[in-house]
Structures are given as structure tokens and as C-alpha cells.
Chain A
């Protein structure tokens, strides 16, 4: 392969890596929106908490002298998912359920309040500073000619792809095959009707928050390990990017969130590849505006039908 195509391939890999983590977080936004038609602004903070739990557990286990990395990661993943899900459930219980049926703006504000609360809670509990974890998974695989351009994929990047792919598959199967998944789909179609048919919609909504939070925890673990540095404010930017990805793909649609995440990641990487890197956000968000002008409901979103 020529130098140019190798370079292009490298940037594509970089873009897909970051895009798949956007997608993981975006699913949380899109599922909540799909069912109750509201944006969960505290979702980015759940991701941040997932990262913190991962760091604390890994540092703790390493400190206790545990050496087997896979076991450490699995323990960290389980604990992170458990704690993040608890937070996700609590956010729903505290900031959404009491306000159900009220004006749509009110839960929006309470979610923003929740987001600020969680951010400051972590600042107070863990300090406002950057927390760093030394690289745990090092090394990688590279190909291409060292004299022209060598494409490298780190094991960490491969792990991110694999984890994202597995999580997506499990989620898709859950939504399309299980009873609970069917109830979720029913809720997203018509919440009131589903309730009339004897399904406990409150339970389904809580479940949606829990699933979203669990995925955010997976993203928190992966990105925490990949970048190695977190602070209580990482949830804001990550949340914003993921929200963008969800809107880009069509908010409410799970495949849309995945597509939007990957598209956003690849656009950023390609912009940085061929233009000065400072333009990457300009181009990525310009693309968002452009797509929404042409397709206001996003790439895979269903056009809003006026309900009578």
C-alpha cells in the first residue's frame, strides 16, 4: 500500500476508536430520549463516575498486590457497572420520577441540576485535580513499511473495538429478543398505551436509565484506561460529544447512536489529518448542522409524527 493509503487507514482506525466510545455513551442519551422524550443531562457525569470507580478499584487492587490484569479489569468493570447503574437509577428516582407528567422543561432543569450536583460531589469527594493511572495495557500491533509510514493499532484500541462491538450486540439482542426489551420498545412507541396494557412503565423507565448508565460505565472504564487521566469535568465534554452523536444519528434510534458516534469520530480524525488540528471541532459540528438542515430527524431517526 502507498504511504497515503496507510496514513488514511491509520487515521480511520484512530477515528473509529474514539467514535466507538462516543457511541457507547450516546446510547444512554438515545434510549432515555426514545422512551420518555427527554434528554438526560446527567448522563455525562455517570460516565465520569464510571471512570473514577475504575481508577479507584484498579489502584486499590494493584495496591493489594493483585497482578493478574484480566481479573483486575473484570472486577473493576463489574464494580463500575454496579455503582454507575446505582447512580443512573438514583438520578431517575430523584430528578425524573417525581416530575413525570409535568412540563417538559422542568425535568430538563432538574437533570442539569443533577449534573452540576454530581460534578461537585466528585470534586468534594475526590478533589478537583487530574487523577492519573499509569498505562496498564501497553504494546500493539503494527504493519506497513517503517521507512514510509507504519500503521499501528494498540492493544488498548483493539480492546475498545471489541468491547464496543460486544456491548452493542448484547444490547441489540436484549432489546429485540427479551421480554423486557419488548416492553422497552413498546414504551418507546406509546408510553400511555403501554401503561394501559398492564406494563409497569416506571420500572421500564428505571431499567432504561440503568442500562444507559451501565454502558456509560463501560465507556468510562475503556476511556479511563486509554487516556489514563481523568478529572471531575471529563463528563461534560464527553457528554456533549455523545449527545451530538446521538442527535446526528437520529435521537431515539440505537443504531443511529452507533452510526452517529462513529461518523463523528471519523470526521474529527480525518479533519485533523488533512487540516490543522484546531479545525476538527469546527468541521465536526459544521457537519452536524448540515445534516440536521437536510434531515432534521438525524440520519436514522424517524420523522416526528404529530400525535392526535
Chain B
């Protein structure tokens, strides 16, 4: 942002603040919520929405922030990088300077450049690609661990299982291929060579050729880097073709739709997912309030999204300001106590501690910690 725009923004903020004191307590602070509300991965956008809205309601019920009530404004990026950029520009236009989102790493990355340039504070509750925080952005944070952590956690688990033939499959997207590469490379270091390393096309429906190949290679363990629509079909078609290997995926597959697509075939699939914060006793009351609204509190991003709001609002209370530069500085320097525990940030805006565990998924939508 150039100096002139900064001044203009500063002035308009000053005018807003003056206007605010005149309008007294009725003022609201808008927080943008950016993620997919439509499209194939909209379920994850729902999780994020449930968490953010729950946090906003809880904070408003407790009197708001610095006398202001919070309001969540939803923006739909459909997990499409092009639309994410349009959404980011719209948020800038709408004068909102606090964003929770985006969700898909491939959307978060281009959007984060815009937020950084415009001085908008962004906290993603779901994007795990390491490259997002590698650009030296000051305004970008997350409340979720990195792919690299998730990948090495998966690799450690695979090491302990010692599969006879391992295949690593991915969907050629930033998130999936990044994870698959991490898993393959860290296993190679430990002397486990992947028999196959291949990409599929996201949106594809027919995986029979791939499955026949896995069968021929005698693969007994498949790591899949990607999201549930493709893995669901792979599992379903594998069962039809009598291919019974152990499948494992990242948190992008943890979703009730996996069971809808794959049916019985998804029972026992492994996944690395954020810890089940909804099972933590400290979140008991929050979970009950979400359930009382008829919403699902078990999604992997519900409480990371809840925490994203908390990180922002906590910094606002502590600094008694909504100025994003001050907030970013505060967040980087101080830890915050949230629904996902006490979080601390490193220089890049990443969490200092991983939040992932290996889970076994079940067809009723539940998950249990893997042995």
C-alpha cells in the first residue's frame, strides 16, 4: 500500500471512529468470513461458518469487543483461486479489515497477497499449505498446523505400520500434491520406497484404470493426498473391484460425505486431522450451544475457526484497538488462550505446535484415535 492510500485509509478510519463515538454503542465491527459456500467442498466452508458464527455469538453475548458488537459477513469463494481474488477485492471494497479464511490453500494464497497489501488481518482456520506463510507476510496467520507437519505425522504412522507395498496418490493440487510429496520424501529417508507415486485429475469420476494398476502392483497401503470427492470414488470403485488395501488421507477427507459417496467401503480409513477439540471438556458448553442451534460441532475446522475469531478479538481487547498492524504485532508477540488451547505464533505466522493426530474414520461419521 502506498503512502497516499495509507493516509486516506487512516483519515477515513479516523472519521469512522469519530462517527462511531457519536453513534455510541450501536456500532458493529464486521468480520469477513471467506470460504466455499458452494461447490464440491462447501461442507468445509460450513464447518468454518459454524465455528465463526458460534464464536461471534458467544462474544456478543458476553458484551462484544471494546463496546462493539461483532457481525460475520459471509463471502463465497467456491474454493476457486480466481473467485478468491475477486472475493478479497470485494472485502477490500466493503471496507472490512478482519478476515477469517480462506479455506482451500490454493484460494488462501492469492487472496493473502491482497490482504497483505491492503493491511487486512487474515487468519485461516483450514489452509495448511506451507507456502502461504513463506512470503514474509505480516498480516497472515493460521489456527491450524502445516501440511509439512501433517505429512510427517502420516509418514511416522506409515513407518510404524510397515506396509509391504506402498502407493502415494494425489490430486495434482497444491494441497494434495504437497502432502503426498512430503509423505513420499520422509518415508524415502526412512528406507520405505513408494512403489507408485501418481496424480489423478480432480473432478475425475473413473478410477478403474488406476485401481487395476494398484492391484497389479500388489499395493497394500495407499496414501491419498487430496479431498474426499475423489477418494470417496476411489474407495467405492476399489471395493467393487475387490481391491482391499488400507487407505490413509489428510484432514481434507474427514467429512460425512466420504461415507455418503463410498458407503461401507470407507470404514476404517485412516486420516490425520486436527485434534477433536469438540471432545475436549473445556469446550463442553460451546459444543452444547452449537448443538442447540441444530448444527454439527464435530467437523475438523469448527473449532479452529472458532479460535481464529478468538485470536483476533483477544488481540483487540488487549490492545484496545482494531488497527490491524497493532493486532498483528500483538498476536505475533503474545500467546492467546483459545478453544483449541494456548496458541503461540512464530515469526511467519504459523502455530508453534502441531494440532494433528491420526484417526480412524467410521461409516457413521465418527472417528477414533488410531492405535
Residues of A within 8 A of B (CB): 3, 7, 10-11, 14-15, 17-18, 123, 128-130, 132, 134-135, 138, 140, 142, 149-150, 152, 154, 156, 223, 227-229, 231, 233-234, 237, 268-270, 272-273, 276-278, 280-281
Residues of A with C-beta under 8 A to B199:
276-278
B38 within 8 A of A: yes
**12 examples of A-B residue contacts, CB within 8 angstroms:** A7-B212, A14-B212, A128-B39, A132-B260, A132-B261, A135-B263, A152-B240, A223-B205, A227-B233, A277-B198, A277-B213, A278-B199
Assess A18 versus B206: contact at CB under 8 Å? Given A135-B236, A277-B198: yes
Q: Give A154's nearest chain B residue, CB to CB.
A: B240
Assess A142 versus B216: contact at CB under 8 Å? Given A14-B208, A231-B40, A278-B199: no
Per the bound structure, the CA–CA distance linking A62 and B247 in Å amounts to: 31
Pair B39/A229 contact, Cβ less than 8 Å? no
Q: Which of B256-305 contact A (CB under 8 A)?
A: 257, 260-261, 263
Q: Give B242's nearest chain A residue, CB to CB.
A: A152
Pair B233/A281 contact, Cβ less than 8 Å? no
Candidate in B43, B78, B197, B212 with the most chain A CB atoms within 10 angstroms: B212
B229 within 8 A of A: yes
> Chain A nearest CB: distance from B244 CB in Å?
12
Residues of A with C-beta under 8 A to B172:
278
Q: Which of B210-235 contact A (CB under 8 A)?
A: 210, 212-213, 215-216, 229, 232-233
Residues of A with C-beta under 8 A to B209:
11, 14-15, 268-270, 272-273, 277, 280
Q: Give A138's nearest chain B residue, CB to CB.
A: B240
Main secondary structure of the interface of A (DSSP, over half): helix
B68 within 8 A of A: no
Pair B233/A229 contact, Cβ less than 8 Å? yes
A152-B241, A228-B261, A278-B199 known, 9 other contacts, Cβ within 8 Å: A129-B42, A130-B40, A152-B242, A228-B233, A269-B209, A277-B199, A277-B210, A277-B213, A280-B201
> Chain B nearest CB: distance from A229 CB in Å?
5
Q: Give B216's nearest chain A residue, CB to CB.
A: A7
Pair A272/B240 contact, Cβ less than 8 Å? no
Pair A227/B40 contact, Cβ less than 8 Å? no
Per the bound structure, the CA–CA distance linking A227 and B204 in Å amounts to: 10
Pair A142/B242 contact, Cβ less than 8 Å? yes
Q: Give A3's nearest chain B residue, CB to CB.
A: B216
Q: Give B76's nearest chain A residue, CB to CB.
A: A128
> Chain A nearest CB: distance from B216 CB in Å?
5
Residues of B with C-beta under 8 A to A129:
38-40, 42-43
Q: How many inter-chain contacts with C-beta < 8 Å in the A-B complex? A: 95
Q: Give A146's nearest chain B residue, CB to CB.
A: B242
Contact of B205 among A11, A140, A156, A229 (CB under 8 A): A229
Residues of B with C-beta under 8 A to A237:
203
Contact of A278 among B198, B236, B261 (CB under 8 A): B198
B96 within 8 A of A: no
Contact of B261 among A7, A14, A229, A233 (CB under 8 A): A229
Pair B240/A229 contact, Cβ less than 8 Å? no
B200 within 8 A of A: yes
Residues of B with C-beta under 8 A to A270:
209
Pair B208/A17 contact, Cβ less than 8 Å? yes
Residues of A with C-beta under 8 A to B215:
149-150
Contact of A276 among B78, B198, B206, B208 (CB under 8 A): B198
Per the bound structure, the CA–CA distance linking A85 and B206 in Å amounts to: 26
Residues of B with C-beta under 8 A to A276:
197-199
> Chain A nearest CB: distance from B196 CB in Å?
8
> Chain B nearest CB: distance from A107 CB in Å?
28
Residues of A with C-beta under 8 A to B39:
128-129
Assess A234 versus B205: contact at CB under 8 Å? Given A132-B257, A229-B232, A278-B198: yes
> Chain A nearest CB: distance from B365 CB in Å?
14
Per the bound structure, the CA–CA distance linking A229 and B40 in Å amounts to: 11
Assess A18 versus B40: contact at CB under 8 Å? Given A156-B240, A276-B199, A277-B199: no
Per the bound structure, the CA–CA distance linking A269 and B207 in Å amounts to: 9
Residues of A with C-beta under 8 A to B205:
223, 227, 229, 234
Pair B42/A228 contact, Cβ less than 8 Å? no
Pair A18/B242 contact, Cβ less than 8 Å? no
Q: Give B236's nearest chain A residue, CB to CB.
A: A228
> Chain B nearest CB: distance from A23 CB in Å?
14
Residues of A with C-beta under 8 A to B38:
123, 128-129
Q: Give B207's nearest chain A residue, CB to CB.
A: A277
Per the bound structure, the CA–CA distance linking A129 and B249 in Å amounts to: 21
Per the bound structure, the CA–CA distance linking A273 and B241 in Å amounts to: 15
Residues of A with C-beta under 8 A to B203:
233, 237
Q: Give A6's nearest chain B residue, CB to CB.
A: B216
Per the bound structure, the CA–CA distance linking A302 and B333 in Å amounts to: 73
Residues of A with C-beta under 8 A to B263:
134-135
Per the bound structure, the CA–CA distance linking A149 and B241 in Å amounts to: 12
Pair A130/B261 contact, Cβ less than 8 Å? yes
Pair B213/A273 contact, Cβ less than 8 Å? yes
Contact of A11 among B212, B229, B233 (CB under 8 A): B212
Pair A278/B200 contact, Cβ less than 8 Å? yes
Residues of B with C-beta under 8 A to A140:
240-241
Per the bound structure, the CA–CA distance linking A128 and B40 in Å amounts to: 7
Q: Which of B32-65 contact A (CB under 8 A)?
A: 38-40, 42-43
